[in-house]
Structure 1
Amino acid sequence: MSLYLHALAAILIREALRFVTQRERFLAALVRPLVWLIVFAAGFRAALGLSITPPYQTYITYEVYIIPGLCAMIQLFNAMQSALSLVYDREMGSMRLLLTAPLPRWWLLFCKLLAGVLVSILQVYAFLGIAYLYGIKLPPMGYVWVLPALLVSGMMLGAVGLFLASTIRQLENFAGVMNFVIFPVFFLSTALYPLWRMAESSRLLRDICAWNPFSHAVELIRFALYMRLNPEALGWVALTFAVFLTLAIWGFDPARGIMTRKASP
């Protein structure tokens, strides 16, 4: 057990040092949601009316509605950046060296995943702090309740990133894959619009948003911010995490994953 914990601590420290030395990454993670909150939300406020839907007990402004979606967006981008660094580490050889450690491969990948999630949680709380100063005040205990939700949603999105990293051989190909994944996943979700609003435009779009695992991550965070649990969202997020983590572990298997692909012509 001490060997397992030592590996976990080493990977966490490595990711923390990388996060501290890459301040631009921290600032970039905050710029995107702040642009949506300050610029786009101001323009959409008059055009998008929001009814009283759970977990809200009164009418809310559009800025309040998109806060959970922007928190999930931070985690989504961080998951893709962590996957990008994983592809880079694989090309430079450090990831291959890590996977040769005398520990189960699933544990090493889990440690890498957890380290990235903790970084994303720090970024989310920094964003929530700025939103508070901007005037978006949430229930005080919601900032505590949201922590487990951020951990679960971050693990799910990180598992998706791990799976993508296991399928991509070259660093140059990852940027296109990121755009192909991030934008459809984000815009076809409840991050920016409620399901009933999507249904008014297209029933098909509404169904896509309802089945999108990212929507369930957003709703899990949304309910947690108001000290409520969404069991359906939690179930879907946990299921998605288990599926993609299993696929990622399979993808990094030496007999099937990166070792074989690197050796192939």
Structure 2
Amino acid sequence: MNAYLIALKAIIGREAFRFVSQRGRFIAALVRPLLWLVVFAAGFRAALGLSITPPYATYITYEVYIVPGLCGMILLFNGMQSSLSLVYDREMGSMRLLLTSPLPRWWLLFCRLLASTSISVLQVYVFLAITALYGIRFAWYGYIALLPALLVAGVMLGALGLALSSAIKQLENFAGVMNFVIFPMFFLSTALYPLWKMAESSELLHDICAFNPFSHSVELIRFALYGQFNGIALIWTGLAGLIWVALALWGYDPARGLVRRSGK
């Protein structure tokens, strides 16, 4: 057990040091959602009407609606950024060195996943502190209930990054694969528009958004901010996370993934 904890501390410490030393990464993670909140939301406010739907008990502004989606954006982009660092570590050889540890492979990947998720959660709370200064605030219990929702959503999106990193062979291929994943997941979700609004445009788009695991992670965050529990969102988010964790473990299996590719 002591060896497990030492590995957990070392991996989280390494990721924390990398995060602190890369201030541009922290700033970029905040600028992106703030740009949507301040600039794009101002333009969409007049064009997009919102009805009273759970968890809201009254009409809200568009800025209030997209805050949970922007929290999900931070988790999504940071999960993909973490997968980029995994591809880099694999090319530099440090990832192969890590996976030669006598500890179980699933524990090492879990430590990496927990480290990236912890950083994502920290970024989300900093973003919410800025939105509070901007005038968008939630009840105190909402910020507490938000923590487990962020952890579940962060692990799910981080596991997706792990699974993708096991399939990306070269760092140069990262941008194309990430854009193919990030933007469809974000725009075809409830992060920016409610499902009923998508149904007005296209039933197909509505069904895609309803099936998208990122939509359910956003709704899990949205309900948590109001101190409410969304069981369906939790089930879908957890199920997607389990599937992607299994794919990541399969991809990093020496008999199938990392070792076989590195030997080519």
Scaled by the length of structure 1, what TM-score is found? 0.99
Runs of 4+ in 1 over 6 A off after TM superposition: none
Q: What pairs up with 1:85-164 in 2 under 5 angstroms?
A: 85-164=85-164
- Structure 2 spans left out of the alignment, 5+ residues: none
Report the equivalent of 1:174. 174
Residue 102 of structure 1 and its aligned partner are, at CA, apart by 0.7
Q: How far, CA to CA, are the matches of 2:229 and 2:166 in structure 1?
A: 33
Q: How far, CA to CA, are the matches of 1:21 and 1:119 in structure 2?
A: 13
Report the equivalent of 2:69. 69
Aligned residues: 264
Q: How far, CA to CA, are the matches of 1:193 and 1:229 in structure 2?
A: 20
Letter of the aligned partner of 2:194 in structure 1?
P
Q: Secondary structure at the match of 1:229?
A: coil
Residue 139 of structure 1 and its aligned partner are, at CA, apart by 1.4
Q: How far, CA to CA, are the matches of 2:108 and 2:202 in structure 1?
A: 43
Letter of the aligned partner of 2:226 in structure 1?
Y
Q: How far, CA to CA, are the matches of 1:210 and 1:24 in structure 2?
A: 34
Q: How far, CA to CA, are the matches of 1:236 and 1:107 in structure 2?
A: 24
The root-mean-square deviation of aligned C-alpha atoms, in Å, is: 0.5
Scaled by the length of structure 2, what TM-score is found? 0.99
Q: How far, CA to CA, are the matches of 1:137 and 1:108 in structure 2?
A: 38
Residue 263 of structure 1 and its aligned partner are, at CA, apart by 1.2
Letter of the aligned partner of 1:199 in structure 2?
A
Report the equivalent of 1:11. 11
Report the equivalent of 2:29. 29
User: Is 2:46 aligned against 1:46?
Assistant: yes
- Structure 1 spans left out of the alignment, 5+ residues: none
Residue 85 of structure 1 and its aligned partner are, at CA, apart by 0.1
Residue 262 of structure 1 and its aligned partner are, at CA, apart by 1.5
Q: How far, CA to CA, are the matches of 2:229 and 2:73 in structure 1?
A: 20
Q: How far, CA to CA, are the matches of 2:85 and 2:119 in structure 1?
A: 14
Residue 110 of structure 1 and its aligned partner are, at CA, apart by 0.5
Residue 141 of structure 1 and its aligned partner are, at CA, apart by 1.2
Q: How far, CA to CA, are the matches of 1:113 and 1:175 in structure 2?
A: 21
Q: How far, CA to CA, are the matches of 2:112 and 2:249 in structure 1?
A: 12
Report the equivalent of 1:228. 228
User: Is 2:60 aligned against 1:60?
Assistant: yes
Residue 137 of structure 1 and its aligned partner are, at CA, apart by 1.1
User: Is 2:237 aligned against 1:245?
Assistant: no
Q: Deviations over 1:42-77 (max 9, x none)?
A: 010011110000000000000000000000000000
Q: Deviations over 1:174-223 (max 9, x none)?
A: 11111100000000000000000000000000000000000000000000
Letter of the aligned partner of 1:234 in structure 2?
L
Q: Deviations over 1:111-151 (max 9, x none)?
A: 00000000001110010000000011111211111000000
Q: Secondary structure at the match of 1:54?
A: coil
Q: How far, CA to CA, are the matches of 2:259 and 2:174 in structure 1?
A: 18
